[in-house]
Amino acid sequence: MNGTVTPTTSGTYDFVVVSNRLPVDRVFEPDGSASWTRSPGGLVTALEPVMRQNEGAWIGWGGQPDLEFEPFDSGGIRVIPVVLSDDDIGNYYEGFSNDTLWPLYHDVIAPPSFHREWWDSYVEVNQRFADAAAAASAPGAVVWVQDYQLQLVPKLLRELRPDLTIGFFNHIPFPPYGIYSQLPWRTQIVEGLLGADVIGFQRVADASNFQRAVRRLKGYVTKGSQVEVPLIDRSPGVRVFGEIKRQGSFRTVVARAFPISIDASSFEALARTPAIQERAHQIREELGNPKTIMLGVDRLDYTKGIGHRLKAYGELLAEGRLSSEDVTLVQVANPSRERVQAYMALRDEIELTVGRINGDYGTIAHVPISYQHHGFPREEMVALYLAADVMLVTALRDGMNLVAKEYVACRFDEDGVLVLSEFAGASDELKRALLINPHDIDGLKETILQAVSMPKRDRAARMRSLRKRVIEHDVSRWSADFLKVLESRAHHGSPGHPL
């Protein structure tokens, strides 16, 4: 996994990605030694070619407290650490990022907590990421900041390095103003984001919500996807002293939707592998060859609507409209953010419900829910997608939901039915899925029955149309589209436009 990255002569890089987590995981061997493996995410797959061509570096956290290490090369990417202490993890990561911003940005499904010490830590850690990016960037470099954990970095970085071209992509929703305005630090976050040249969102609605927040909080003019940011801040409450030399002049920031995707061809290639197809058959057999296998795959998160899905399924079993002899639901629930209270409570609630359904409607031979509280290697996931007749994505709010796209990418056999929440960003693109409102339990039950009994011809027609979208709009097209717009914003006269 070692590739060679040649930094520019000054030890800096032309293309720098900044994200909370690095694209590598630290794994410990039984003998106590540790090494790094590449995490399998789509983002790193999409950016790897750009990194290789452009002396790329990736700045982020190594996933454990106080983990210090020298930068190293991993498959053409220079990996540069930002160190987080236990306190940083508690206040910046688990606190402000995942117990303030995460619930607030997901329609306050869980109540967000507002703590001033969490905010202070968020500011301090964002400054640390900005300092690291400033130190690693060559003159005129392009820097692409990722996600809600780092919303202050664009502004902080622009202050340190006005020569850089800065992009930001928000992987999660951006909430409507009525919700966003609860945030005591709402103005600072908007100002932080506006330090970027291009701000990307998943859905058109997210970009509109952001633009409205900009108009309400800063009074700036927005025109289409462009925000006019005055070069001298004359927004309410800011006093401007001295001569205003460039009164009326502004920089434009692009804020628009760039829906993210997956590396569709690599999923399809795996699905076409005979060994994985064999494994899919084996999974069906291990489950007792039910007529229908339904599948849910989620991080164990309250945004995913797992409880709503279980309620609908449990009622269908109770009413005898589905039987555990005919149907099995495989629910993969990846452990996530396990020290945050709302996640602990969710786990208890889901596992109680799973236990009740299995106890009430199972037989010795047939268990209605096969519940898996752990992740699986990608190969096993692809086999599960191939084995599943119905895929249930019932998120209450989700930036995109890549699981929906992975399922579609794997179904080269043009079979399988996708049930998809209209509150997941993917529903803007995957219009021929069976779209549902997960809050409407009766509607969800009817749709599950429709999916289970859909004739093959209809399944194939729908899947063909879904596949066309996912294959044509894959993650490399997403990154190319974003970087093209970012490049077009590059400052004239700065040395070198690397991309």
Least Å distance, CB 93 to ligand G6P, is 7
C-alpha span between 188 and 311 (Å, rounded): 40
Strands 250-257 and 198-201 turn out to be: parallel
Least Å distance, CB 81 to ligand G6P, is 16
Could you tell me how many residues of this chain bind ligand G6P (CB under 6 A)?
A: 6
Q: Which is nearer to ligand G6P, 171 or 309 (CB)?
A: 171
* Contact predicate 176/216, CB 8 Å: no
Residues 366-405 that bind ligand G6P (CB under 6 A): none
Least Å distance, CB 168 to ligand G6P, is 13
Residue 486 in tokens: 């970012």
Least Å distance, CB 129 to ligand G6P, is 13
Q: Which is nearer to ligand G6P, 195 or 399 (CB)?
A: 399
Contacts of 103 (CB under 8 A, 6+ apart): 109, 110, 111, 112, 342
Q: Which is nearer to ligand G6P, 303 or 447 (CB)?
A: 303
Q: Which is nearer to ligand G6P, 36 or 220 (CB)?
A: 36
Q: Which is nearer to ligand G6P, 315 or 428 (CB)?
A: 428
Least Å distance, CB 282 to ligand G6P, is 30
Cα torsion 315, 321, 322, 325: sign: positive
Contact call for residue 347 and ligand G6P (CB under 6 A): no
Least Å distance, CB 77 to ligand G6P, is 17
Report the SS3 class of residue 393.
strand
Angle at 60 between CA 57 and CA 61, to 5 degrees: 145
* Contact predicate 268/301, CB 8 Å: no
Q: Which is nearer to ligand G6P, 15 or 92 (CB)?
A: 92
- What counts of helices (H) and strands (E) characterise the chain? 17, 18
Least Å distance, CB 445 to ligand G6P, is 29
C-alpha span between 107 and 96 (Å, rounded): 16
Least Å distance, CB 20 to ligand G6P, is 6
| Amino acid in the structure at residue 286 | E
C-alpha span between 82 and 60 (Å, rounded): 5
Least Å distance, CB 342 to ligand G6P, is 13
CA 448 to chain centre: 26
Angle at 199 between CA 120 and CA 25, to 5 degrees: 65
Q: Which is nearer to ligand G6P, 147 or 389 (CB)?
A: 147
Q: Which is nearer to ligand G6P, 126 or 353 (CB)?
A: 126
Alpha carbon distances (Å) from 313 to 80, 271, 308, 444: 46, 28, 9, 9
Least Å distance, CB 135 to ligand G6P, is 23
**Which residue number has the CB closest to ligand G6P?**
171
Least Å distance, CB 4 to ligand G6P, is 28
Residues 312-341 that bind ligand G6P (CB under 6 A): 336-337
Q: Which is nearer to ligand G6P, 94 or 474 (CB)?
A: 94
Least Å distance, CB 453 to ligand G6P, is 33
Report the SS3 class of residue 370.
strand
C-alpha span between 405 and 430 (Å, rounded): 8
Q: Which is nearer to ligand G6P, 200 or 498 (CB)?
A: 200
Q: Which is nearer to ligand G6P, 250 or 376 (CB)?
A: 376
Residue with tokens 């908007």: 190
C-alpha span between 19 and 21 (Å, rounded): 5
Q: Is 446 exposed, middle or buried (0-12, 13-18, 19+ CB in 10 A)?
A: middle
| Amino acid in the structure at residue 297 | V
**Which element (helix H / strand E) includes 18?**
strand 13-21
Contact call for residue 172 and ligand G6P (CB under 6 A): yes
DSSP state of 425: G
Which residues of 182-258 form beta strands (DSSP E)?
198-201, 221-223, 226-230, 250-257
DSSP one-letter string for 92-129: IIIIIIIIIIHHHHTTTSSPPP--HHHHHHHHHHHHHH
Contact call for residue 21 and ligand G6P (CB under 6 A): yes
Q: Which is nearer to ligand G6P, 192 or 368 (CB)?
A: 192
Binding-site ranges for ligand G6P (CB under 6 A): 21, 147, 171-172, 336-337
